[in-house]
Structure 1
């Protein structure tokens, strides 16, 4: 059965594959390290089909993932800080990899993929994302996040290279992007928007910027364009269960940050009673299409999809339906607020909405709080106003960079 280890073995051995924070590895070196990992796994003579992999460094994650496949095992990369591991049930016969997702309940579950469910789509996504065999893509973050793992494999499928960062250090990212003349940058919007603060002069080598998992509007895109004047920007909407769903180019972005564009080729999207349904051949095993992620949305007359949040983003407060995403959007429209999370909490025996925000370029003061509420009263109904708005240094995020509202729900 074909897998990603076999795919990488087919590339030219002396071709550059990975640069991890200044250390270079060719395809041949990756194959050798993966073979050695596979040999060690075989020697263990374990009967387990699925191997949990918990590694800190990107190189170790990559080698462990490929080494498992070299040994005929199914790799499952888990976040380094994962507290709970899922139970392994029946494994689909054609699966070559597994991914872990928390799901809407927060209980980890395992999803399985065939090689073809990703590999057959690589030519499509590489063309849209501007990836060629000569590309060098900068990326940061764990391969336990399937968005990262997918793009690594897509690069490797055509012999391109990844410039990878383990650390969260935008100044170093900017240095590596320039030093290795990367032509593609892949980061979630929250991380991308740190780069304009660190780049002093325009970087002309970057031709394509990719972003997913979070919203981005034309204003944020323009900040990036000033740093990367030759770059086109693509924002995508996708999911671990389904792969890529829709995408949006910079010239199609508006002030409406929840617009996520039109479907990728071969993918169909519909909205029924405000719920998004997707039909795609590139899904994980066991999915029946049309499939719903329990995401809410609507479509305009031009066929663009708008992401209106998840079903659990809508909470009932004193008998009224309140959108947490709408409250977060209203807060983030305030010029001195960097990021915001809204969550439903118990207050004096009833459910209320609270908010947490970070500031950018402002110091905490009573004036800040007054300005926040003055703005919210102009954009939200009285029943939508958070009963408190706490200013914090930073907000929690998941491995994929999404805001981790579940952590705040417990505070």
Structure 2
């Protein structure tokens, strides 16, 4: 099914049901669908055609939601980007995608104009947010809202058509445009709805950017079932989010591990303080078991779903909450109707317990990277069961088919002739009561090839020396896995999707202390 179809169907079935809470407004399904149709008619009137790409640089809000669904309604392809994207990267992406338009906020006009010039394009620049149109901008989003709207659904669109081009830098820093069809996203979101048990009774609060696959799925899944979606722009002010969670009686809360760490670090929160919360999900990075345990203690009535995915398939696995106690390190099993293989370097399947590269099969797998044939050929391969995506992540599977993330292939630390998964060391660091966040990397060493360096953020009120933390590691790790360096920070740098990116650290602003 095409993605816009769900919204229009809900507007017919439950027109007065609250659909979206954002920007201080509350829209019913009928109101939201009508606004989407008005915008779609405006897009068509200004020349947007099926297959056209449109870059979206918007904060979470009504305008962003309407842009996605209006573009899908006319057969165009949203290319969402985080609103903080820099002009240079925006120019690279614009040159590749050749968009019909770039939609952003007034504060982004210089970056949008520079990107258009860099790419050598004449694409329209559209300003959203209801702000006064700045000089040099061609259109205002509100001016595109047409009154010449027909409420019947547009026919003739196919689910095999592209729904999204989501750009991800991965470990290389070079933007890759992941191409996902309506069928890809629809399949994945219906699987998510099924295992979360979503219904029209749910109220889902998301601070995850809609430019991020994990955030975008909150929007799609909510409107699939007629739930209410509450959008906030970020988790920068946790107390505000907590207040909203209570006031809106939120039942579903998607998190990234950094957010979980912040919640569990608030000493004044009492267990059960969110009685309406039915489930919590965690994805985007590994959630250390110690943090998961603290989160579950704080939210005892909520089911905690640990998930794994990549932009190239949105969601690949989930762990049934009933299995978490027995398998705290697992990310679960593949989505129903999909498959996962653990492969050796030659591409041969490995037995249970062996570590190899995870490869994914199923209707959720992307169709390729936008205009990057070589990258596509390296990531996708043809099998008897259809295309298979090589994730670049090292995994193992147990005898029951549960999957365990080990590390990114490029992140494995080779020290003293041994291979060390950063995640294994990070889990031990997180298990210390004084550690709020931890990330591990390998640094070059003339004697050992690499040695392990840990970056740590302490919980408020804890005074912990490197040697104390080293002793904790020595109690739980083999000698070659113990960090050589421990560096304390006030915070660790993150990508817009919430992943720690150690390459962004300003080492001159931090104090390093050798502990061994």
Q: Are the aligned partners of 2:493 and 2:500 in contact in 1 as well (CA < 8 Å)?
A: yes
| 1:240 maps onto 2:274 in alignment | no
Mapping 1:10-409, distance limit 5 Å: 10-12=9-11, 13-20=15-22, 22-45=24-47, 49-83=52-86, 84-85=89-90, 86=93, 87-88=95-96, 94-168=161-235, 169-196=237-264, 197=266, 199-200=269-270, 202=272, 203-216=274-287, 219-254=290-325, 257-273=328-344, 274-286=356-368, 287-288=380-381, 289-317=387-415, 320-345=418-443, 352-364=451-463, 368-408=465-505
Residue segments in structure 2 that go unaligned for 5+ positions in a row: 100-158, 345-355, 369-379, 382-386, 509-516
* CA–CA separation in structure 1 for the residues paired with 2:230 and 2:26: 9
* CA–CA separation in structure 2 for the residues paired with 1:44 and 1:357: 52
380-389 vs 232-241, which deviates more?
A: 380-389
| SS of alignment partner, residue 315 of structure 2 | strand
Residue segments in structure 1 that go unaligned for 5+ positions in a row: none
| Shift in CA distance, 145/189, structure 1 to aligned 2, threshold 3 Å | same
CA drift of 1:21 comes to 6.1
* CA–CA separation in structure 2 for the residues paired with 1:257 and 1:63: 39
Higher-Rg structure is: 2
* CA–CA separation in structure 1 for the residues paired with 2:327 and 2:63: 40
Deviation per CA, 1:288-344: give whole Å up to 9, x if none: 433221110111112211100110111344765343323323322222111112233
| Shift in CA distance, 346/32, structure 1 to aligned 2, threshold 3 Å | farther
Q: Are the aligned partners of 1:358 and 1:391 in contact in 2 as well (CA < 8 Å)?
A: yes
* CA–CA separation in structure 2 for the residues paired with 1:188 and 1:194: 10
* CA–CA separation in structure 1 for the residues paired with 2:313 and 2:357: 16
* CA–CA separation in structure 1 for the residues paired with 2:507 and 2:67: 35
46-55 vs 147-156, which deviates more?
A: 46-55
* CA–CA separation in structure 1 for the residues paired with 2:189 and 2:180: 14
Q: Are the aligned partners of 2:318 and 2:332 in contact in 1 as well (CA < 8 Å)?
A: yes
218-227 vs 396-405, which deviates more?
A: 218-227
185-194 vs 35-44, which deviates more?
A: 35-44
* CA–CA separation in structure 1 for the residues paired with 2:334 and 2:359: 12
TM-score by length of 2: 0.71
| Shift in CA distance, 374/107, structure 1 to aligned 2, threshold 3 Å | same
CA drift of 1:210 comes to 1.7
Taking only aligned residues, the RMSD between alpha carbons, in angstroms, comes to 3.0
* CA–CA separation in structure 2 for the residues paired with 1:96 and 1:393: 40
CA drift of 1:215 comes to 2.9
| Shift in CA distance, 378/77, structure 1 to aligned 2, threshold 3 Å | same
211-220 vs 307-316, which deviates more?
A: 211-220
| Shift in CA distance, 232/326, structure 1 to aligned 2, threshold 3 Å | closer
* CA–CA separation in structure 2 for the residues paired with 1:346 and 1:39: 58
| SS of alignment partner, residue 88 of structure 1 | helix
Q: Are the aligned partners of 2:188 and 2:315 in contact in 1 as well (CA < 8 Å)?
A: no
Deviation per CA, 1:209-257: give whole Å up to 9, x if none: 2222233365544433444333222111112112322211333124865
CA drift of 1:260 comes to 0.8
| Shift in CA distance, 403/255, structure 1 to aligned 2, threshold 3 Å | farther
Counterpart of 1:5 in structure 2 is 4
TM-score by length of 1: 0.88
| SS of alignment partner, residue 54 of structure 2 | strand
| Shift in CA distance, 121/293, structure 1 to aligned 2, threshold 3 Å | closer
